[in-house]
Structure 1
Amino acid sequence: MCRRVLKLREKNLVILIFAFFTLACFGGTFFLPDFWDLGGSEKLSAHVPVRMFVPDAGAHGQGVDGDVHKKDDSDRLWDKIRKNFLAKPPLTVRRDEEQFPVTPSPLPANPSLNKKKSDGVGGGGGPSVGRSADDEESKMRRMKIVQMMQHAWSMYEKHAWGENELKPISKRGHSANIFGHSKMGATIVDGLDTLYLMGLTEEFARGRQWVKESFRFEANSDISVFEVNIRFVGGLLACYALSKDAVFKDKAVEIADKLLPAFETETGIPYAILNLQTGSRKNWSWASGGCSILSEFGTLHLEFAYLSNITGNPVYLQKVTRIREYISKMERQDGVYPNYLHPSTGRWGQRHTSLGALGDSFYEYLLKSWLQNKTDALAKSMYDEAMKTVMDRLLQTSRNGLVYFAEMKNGRLEHKMDHLACFTGGMIGLGAEHSDDKEKHMKVAKDIGKTCYESYDRTATKLGPEAFRFEDSSEATTTRSQEKYYILRPEVIETYFYLWRLTKNNMYREWGWQAAQALEKHCLIKDGGYTGIKDVYDAHSAKDDVQQSFFLAETLKYLYLLFSPDSTLDLDRWVLNTEAHPLPVLV
């Protein structure tokens, strides 16, 4: 009897030990960081130090060479990365690659097999001393961005193919009023050149086939001339410039020709809205008594100039040149450009100036038109004058030293900066080399980049609000509910990209990586795509259920370029339109 009791105790002891080890294994599987699941089944943590997942960057930049166990762990982690990345069929270049030659980025070798000492890279706050522009860490991050693009695209293909955008939670199509509620495949056209640059040839081929066979620019209601130009015309022209496939050029010409009636005004300033069926033209009802908007009619030049270049038809360039010449001769109260101009009377509307919404890309296209064509002296002189004025009148510094661009209404400053205005850090940095005071302009560019980073870092999600303010004790934050949302916007990452290219300070890559992690943590829908969120200050924010087409066109493209060699897109040879579509430098 005693022996039977002893056996029972032994069994219980064995069961207890087994349960302990099972619990330990279970905990290790589900609670230790498993970031590099490139199949998209895991979310990134925005709060876990990046160095935990990087085989070549231990604490204080010393790597993992000193501990054989850490080295073994590193090798196993790298094997897992490669295994997950290769889970999908390998990318292949099709036989018709003459039309779109793409070379997929190769997988890097195991870094522990060919490692060099690295100094000064531990915290990511200083220049990339001792680190190449395309080290193993950057390759891994770039690989992750490609996986994000594949997920966003594949979910769109699965749930909303041919629709303008995707509702990733509802798993159906979405269309905003800017597209006229017609199914025109905005995400396809907007995202194609990103696929091309990433070497995703099969996805690109399917998108190209849809453009060739199914794309019809036949909106059954009003469309936005500005949005159609930057997303559709710009996207198609970028694909043509990269691939030399005439399908894209022909479709771009078809669209541009249908936009031309919008320019038929007394001043040449186009209307904002066009109905393709009736030919009627108008402006937004809320736009200062029937005015056209500065950022909309001022953001046509790059695309239309390139159209004239590749077609030999001067009409496109003539239309946008007339706009430029008209506004260059107009007097401006306070020296700044108001956001509204009436296309019939030729008079400025409400006295409101902003480098964010309503004004932003007008200034961008002044600089980039000159970068596209160095003989465009008018664009350069207008840009230089505009930057001097906005720096004198709108550039402000907060109590704690944060630099920002305020808005001006009726001669008075409103200490508010839009997320959209965060592109200015990249723009001013890009123009600094060609300014009369390079040092001043680069300082402003870096300061704006820092402020926009703070607008992200001061939220619970590490994603930035639609607008942020500098008032009372609040800096780079907002308490207004209508400004707390984030809709997958690219402007902050855009500035990180340009500042990285211009300075090679690894801090900008670290900031961009933090944003990528936050996107995965808060915006990823595992079986649906990516969604915006309604409150960046709430770690469990409600979702808006829209995967914007510009998320594929801009946000993911800028992240990819941020972690890519400069040769992936040489800024001496290419200029990016305001939707991040690359167009070639002409002169």
Structure 2
Amino acid sequence: MSLPENNMAVESGLPNFQRYINGVPVPNGRKMLRLREKYIIMLVLLTFGTVCFGAFFFLPDLRDRVSMDGMRKHLRDAGNVIFFPHARIGPDGLPISDKAKILRHDEYNIDPHRIDDKVRLRGKIEAAWEQDKMDKASLVDPLPKGKVEKMEINNQVVPGDKLLDKKNDKLKELSNDKQKDDKTKKINNDDTGDVVKMEQQGDKSTADETGKRRETVLKMMRHSWDNYETYAWGANELRPISRHGHASIFGNIPLGATIVDAIDTLYIMGMKKEFEKAKDWIDKNLKFEGSSDLSVFETNIRFIGGLLSAYALSGEEMFKNKAKMIADKLMPAFNTPTGIPQSMVNVKTGSSRNWGWASGGCSILSEFGSLHLEYSYLSQITGDKIYMDKVMKIRNFIQNIEKPQGLYPNYLNPRTGKWCQTHVSMGALGDSFYEYLLKTWLLTGKTDKDARTMYDGAIQAMEDKMLQTSKDGLKYFAEYKSGRLEHKMDHLACFSGGMMALGANGSSNPTKYLHLGAEIARTCHESYDRSATKLGPEAFRFDDSTQAKATRQNEKYYILRPEVIETYFYMWRLTKEQKYRDWAWEAVQALEKWCRVESGYTGIRDVYQLNPNKDDVQQSFFLAETLKYLYLIFSEDSVIPLHKWVFNTEAHPLPIKS
């Protein structure tokens, strides 16, 4: 029986036509989507678009990965075997000849497998390289065509015959720079593990040049201080572009952070008039009153450390009394079951708390671990042992707690005494804890054996788990996060080069650690040298295509930090290798070019851009640390000698116990 193609249903009031093909009913197709299906499709598309848009901000910035100069440098360093293997050499020392067909690689019939042609090819490469250098020099100081009688340069009329001499001097300077780079490369690529020994430059010309550089740093300090005094006196920091005060991390209370942080720098540099004015302000205005939550760590290293240093240098009792007053206001932070202090204290109410972002309200290793120098010295000069008792309780607790694989994680719960997570860093959140273990041993005249033992154990564990070498041969401390490594190094971690060198004497292998300090210094110098401004980023990374460069926008800024300069200081004092003074001078020139403004110095937002945007903040540690270390690099060792003084993590010197 055949079925009709169209079947009318009579049960309902509306017609319902059903189509059949070969006796099989075929459902009627819909030409429109249901409303629910539209919503689902729209939601899928919206989610996909949101994910793609969000992922855009996490992509690495590849613009600065490889430059033409960088490619030429790689080709030059690879030598003449980058494309072609060496010729096979026979017993007589000559290339083995065969009668096979020789493939010509270019139109000039140069066979790169023949020794003489390889020399010619290498000569062509070198000639092209030198021509490129000369072209750059002509761009720096271009001369007009034809005979020139005279020319005005920098508002001065220069005879025509002097212009050519000037250009030739520039070419000679570039040639000398190349020779110096080759020498540095030869030293840095030495894999013997021995520390290169260089004689101290003592000739008169070097001494004169060093004196001029020291005078330049002094002028930088005057420029920083005078503008702070003019536009932000009594405020915590200066906004040099806006020309007014900056509240900084200490909130809206005008505590004069720059005054206290920089007063020992004024003393060391011989700025007596400025020192007296700063001392008078501290005496009359530094009271720490008002309702504000203050960082225990920052208040200790900048205020207590700065005041104790000023007392040690000048002998003025007022500085000691002010330091004691502030330390007493921080005491409520130590009222925890373990004695591990919390991060913040309200100086008016006495309440304390931890940072909300710090792993569920835990205390931070670098903060509670960076109190020992200041508090132990304060007990020594006041005769009040309460300060020493507080930091010794921290020490004893940390010494006895179980350390995962010998490592000290960055977060600790002050109530339970348990580590909050396994994140270990030589940079932010960990850095100065290790520094204070070593320097406590030094401050006590090397009598605190427990501090030295804890330092050696911590460094050994970090060497085993975190010390890495990049494909370019750069050593760095990666970050350890729950069993895996993040191949990133903070600018803050660059202090570790100086720490390794400082701790070499007294270690199990002094040569090894002095060499490691030199290697870290080289890595951090590379992070500066590979930027357009010759200043280093906040953090830099290592992967298959990136070596010692920042790849994320939020890591490219520079806020006048001192850690790289600090390592140059220690390496200069301990090795007397001239390159550390030269590297420091490079930093001075970069600061003058990119960070100096009419009314002070400012940080920049991207070290890989020429003419970068500025952040309009003159940090107090720029005067306390960066300029102080630069000044000391170009000074005699008798200015704050390392066998008599120990610097806290804010570069405030404290006297070693005799």
Q: Contact (CA 8 Å) 2:255, 2:288: kept in 1 or not?
A: yes
Within 2, Cα distance between the matches of 1:398 and 1:490?
A: 24
Within 2, Cα distance between the matches of 1:561 and 1:159?
A: 28
Residue from 487, 492, 495 that aligns with 1:423: 495
CA deviations 1:28-64 (Å, max 9, x no partner) are 64999xxxxxxxxxxxxxxx98997xxxxx969xxxx
1:356 offset after TM fit, Å?
0.1
Within 2, Cα distance between the matches of 1:291 and 1:59?
A: 54
CA deviations 1:516-542 (Å, max 9, x no partner) are 10000000012x100000000001100
Say if 2:453 is the partner of 1:404.
Answer: no
Within 2, Cα distance between the matches of 1:409 and 1:211?
A: 43
Percent identity between matched residues is 57
Residue from 453, 465, 479 that aligns with 1:393: 465
Within 2, Cα distance between the matches of 1:139 and 1:229?
A: 34
Name 1:16's counterpart in structure 2.
none
Within 2, Cα distance between the matches of 1:568 and 1:160?
A: 30
Within 2, Cα distance between the matches of 1:491 and 1:31?
A: 42
Residue from 575, 578, 595 that aligns with 1:523: 595
Within 1, Cα distance between the matches of 2:171 and 2:420?
A: 49
1:218 offset after TM fit, Å?
1.6
Residue from 210, 216, 222 that aligns with 2:287: 216
Instruction: Give 3-state SS (helix, strand or coil) of 1:223's partner.
Output: strand
Within 2, Cα distance between the matches of 1:459 and 1:30?
A: 35
Within 2, Cα distance between the matches of 1:284 and 1:452?
A: 30
1:220 offset after TM fit, Å?
2.3
Say if 2:566 is the partner of 1:494.
Answer: yes
Task: Pick closer, same or farther for the CA change 1:219–1:583 going to 2, 3 Å.
Answer: farther
Within 1, Cα distance between the matches of 2:542 and 2:490?
A: 12
CA deviations 1:151-184 (Å, max 9, x no partner) are 00000000000000000000000012x3132100
Within 2, Cα distance between the matches of 1:130 and 1:288?
A: 50
Within 2, Cα distance between the matches of 1:31 and 1:344?
A: 74
Alignment of 1:358-377 (within 5 A): 358-373=429-444, 374-377=446-449
Name 1:537's counterpart in structure 2.
608
Within 2, Cα distance between the matches of 1:49 and 1:299?
A: 48
Alignment of 1:73-472 (within 5 A): 127-131=198-202, 135-176=207-248, 178-373=249-444, 374-472=446-544
In structure 2, what residue type is equivalent to 1:292?
S
Name 1:112's counterpart in structure 2.
none
Name 1:506's counterpart in structure 2.
578
1:27 offset after TM fit, Å?
5.2
In structure 1, what residue type is equivalent to 2:217?
I
Name 2:4's counterpart in structure 1.
none
In structure 2, what residue type is equivalent to 1:563?
F
Within 2, Cα distance between the matches of 1:142 and 1:361?
A: 28
Q: Contact (CA 8 Å) 2:291, 2:349: kept in 1 or not?
A: no
Within 2, Cα distance between the matches of 1:443 and 1:50?
A: 34
Within 1, Cα distance between the matches of 2:300 and 2:468?
A: 33
Name 2:139's counterpart in structure 1.
none
Within 2, Cα distance between the matches of 1:245 and 1:198?
A: 18
Root-mean-square deviation (Å): 2.5
Q: Contact (CA 8 Å) 1:334, 1:411: kept in 2 or not?
A: no
Q: Contact (CA 8 Å) 1:421, 1:491: kept in 2 or not?
A: yes
Task: Pick closer, same or farther for the CA change 1:545–1:481 going to 2, 3 Å.
Answer: same
Within 2, Cα distance between the matches of 1:127 and 1:320?
A: 41
Residue from 141, 144, 151 that aligns with 1:24: 151
Larger RCO (alpha carbons 8 Å, 6+ apart): 1
In structure 2, what residue type is equivalent to 1:449?
A
Q: Contact (CA 8 Å) 1:338, 1:352: kept in 2 or not?
A: yes
In structure 2, what residue type is equivalent to 1:368?
K
CA deviations 1:267-290 (Å, max 9, x no partner) are 000000000111111000000111
Within 1, Cα distance between the matches of 2:347 and 2:471?
A: 51
Instruction: Give 3-state SS (helix, strand or coil) of 1:135's partner.
Output: helix
Q: Contact (CA 8 Å) 2:443, 2:655: kept in 1 or not?
A: yes
Name 1:586's counterpart in structure 2.
657
Name 2:643's counterpart in structure 1.
572
Instruction: Give 3-state SS (helix, strand or coil) of 2:536's partner.
Output: coil
TM superposition score normalised by structure 2: 0.71
Task: Pick closer, same or farther for the CA change 1:179–1:376 going to 2, 3 Å.
Answer: same
Return 5+ residue gaps in structure 2 as ranges.
1-147, 160-168, 178-182, 189-196
Q: Contact (CA 8 Å) 2:292, 2:346: kept in 1 or not?
A: yes
Task: Pick closer, same or farther for the CA change 1:27–1:557 going to 2, 3 Å.
Answer: closer
Q: Contact (CA 8 Å) 2:406, 2:457: kept in 1 or not?
A: no
Q: Which is further off, 481-490 or 207-216?
A: 207-216
Return 5+ residue gaps in structure 1 as ranges.
1-19, 33-47, 53-57, 61-119
TM superposition score normalised by structure 1: 0.80
In structure 2, what residue type is equivalent to 1:375?
T
In structure 2, what residue type is equivalent to 1:408?
Y
Instruction: Give 3-state SS (helix, strand or coil) of 2:330's partner.
Output: helix
In structure 2, what residue type is equivalent to 1:437?
N
Instruction: Give 3-state SS (helix, strand or coil) of 2:419's partner.
Output: coil
In structure 2, what residue type is equivalent to 1:550?
F
Instruction: Give 3-state SS (helix, strand or coil) of 1:25's partner.
Output: strand
In structure 1, what residue type is equivalent to 2:623?
L
1:214 offset after TM fit, Å?
1.5
Instruction: Give 3-state SS (helix, strand or coil) of 1:568's partner.
Output: coil
Q: Contact (CA 8 Å) 1:284, 1:290: kept in 2 or not?
A: yes
Q: Contact (CA 8 Å) 1:124, 1:510: kept in 2 or not?
A: no
Q: Contact (CA 8 Å) 2:200, 2:576: kept in 1 or not?
A: no
In structure 1, what residue type is equivalent to 2:551?
T
Instruction: Give 3-state SS (helix, strand or coil) of 1:468's partner.
Output: strand
Within 1, Cα distance between the matches of 2:616 and 2:282?
A: 26
1:332 offset after TM fit, Å?
1.5
In structure 2, what residue type is equivalent to 1:24?
M
Q: Contact (CA 8 Å) 1:124, 1:506: kept in 2 or not?
A: no
Aligned residues: 488
1:481 offset after TM fit, Å?
0.2
Within 2, Cα distance between the matches of 1:140 and 1:24?
A: 29
Residue from 452, 465, 475 that aligns with 2:547: 475
Instruction: Give 3-state SS (helix, strand or coil) of 2:151's partner.
Output: helix
In structure 2, what residue type is equivalent to 1:553?
A
- Higher gyration radius (CA): 2
Within 1, Cα distance between the matches of 2:436 and 2:171?
A: 36
Within 2, Cα distance between the matches of 1:537 and 1:507?
A: 24
Task: Pick closer, same or farther for the CA change 1:217–1:49 going to 2, 3 Å.
Answer: farther
Q: Contact (CA 8 Å) 1:302, 1:372: kept in 2 or not?
A: yes
Within 1, Cα distance between the matches of 2:423 and 2:154?
A: 57
1:124 offset after TM fit, Å?
12
Q: Contact (CA 8 Å) 2:152, 2:158: kept in 1 or not?
A: no
CA deviations 1:331-356 (Å, max 9, x no partner) are 12232100000111111012100000
1:131 offset after TM fit, Å?
2.6
